[in-house]
Amino acid sequence: MKISKNIDVVSSITKEDFEKNYLKPQKPLIIKGFASLYPADKKWDIDFLKDYCGDVDVELFDNNITKHKSTAFTTPDLTMRFSDYVDILKREQPSNLRMFLFNMFKKRPGLKKYFPYPYLFDGILGKMGFMFFGAKNIKVRIHQDIDMSNVLLTQFHGRKRVVLIDPKYSTLLYRLPFTTYSLVDLDNPDYEKYPGLKYVEAQECVLEKGDALFMPSGYWHYITYLDWGYAVSYRELAISLKMKWRGLVSLAFLMPFDKVMNYLFGKKWLAYKEKVADEKAYRLALHIEAENRIMSFRKRQPANVVFQAQVNRS
């Protein structure tokens, strides 16, 4: 797997340029200091948020619970007062608990005036802002967002490393059928078990406080918290009909079906999904390997030999 650090970085951008150069071509972008355009940048320190949202019961996922291996993160492992969770984070000790995709704006609509729907996005998803919190070293497994929306993730505290991968690599990432995630470990890629990974090209970056990352629809992301921190994501519907359709089908049919099958058949269902993902990736990897061999064979041959070979075939 090749990981490059080649995501475009800007310190400001107009909506027109963003649409022309990033949204329409579906190209990732980092906007340094994006949060400084909004009052939240100064206002939202952790003590303010604790005060403002402290008595909200928030849903948390425990990264140590392995049952999540088999299905999407939809049912939280526990709920806790937000103020208690903040105390855990502020202690700066290891914790497996993370707040994932929590719509705090629904619980505290007043937060919106500090960070409204960003000017780069339009559309019906403007009401949905999600918060993500986690301790240092927390990892968010590699996944695509289930609705296949475009995402703008703005970091308000701490740093995080994000690895992004174009959706065209979904098969080589061993996406489990009926889901939008994969079980591959990008920190320790196992090329014996997942040979298709060799052909994947990824992009990585480190988001710092105030930075925003544009993740086009369907882009895979794998996240590691380098410090404890929090971020907010806003979304805009996918541009292409294909991605809109895929998002709708995933949400309305594939995920519910996967949940039922998981409930009924548990580990057997997971084993079946892994087998299908392996077979698809294996076939594609063989195909790529064969094409690479043909290309390098052609390059080694003098032009007339290649020409003669073509003539003999015809």
Ligand X SMILES: O=C(O)CCC(=O)C(=O)O
Q: Which residues bind ligand X (CB under 6 A)?
A: 132, 134, 140, 145, 151, 153, 221, 223, 231, 233
Q: Which is nearer to ligand X, 134 or 196 (CB)?
A: 134
**What gap in Å lies between CA 20 and CA 25, rounded to an integer?**
7
Min dist CB 140 to ligand X, Å, is 5
Closest residue to ligand X, based on beta-carbon distance = 132
Min dist CB 130 to ligand X, Å, is 7
Q: Which is nearer to ligand X, 151 or 277 (CB)?
A: 151
Min dist CB 133 to ligand X, Å, is 8
Q: Which is nearer to ligand X, 175 or 221 (CB)?
A: 221
Q: Which is nearer to ligand X, 145 or 236 (CB)?
A: 145
Min dist CB 9 to ligand X, Å, is 18
Min dist CB 279 to ligand X, Å, is 28
Q: Which is nearer to ligand X, 23 or 261 (CB)?
A: 23
**What gap in Å lies between CA 92 and CA 223, rounded to an integer?**
19
Min dist CB 233 to ligand X, Å, is 4
Give CA separation, 23 vs 19, 105, 121, 220, 240, in Å. Answer: 5, 25, 9, 16, 11
**What gap in Å lies between CA 168 and CA 177, rounded to an integer?**
15
Q: Which is nearer to ligand X, 65 or 286 (CB)?
A: 65
Whether the CB-CB separation of 146 and 181 falls below 8 Å is answered with no
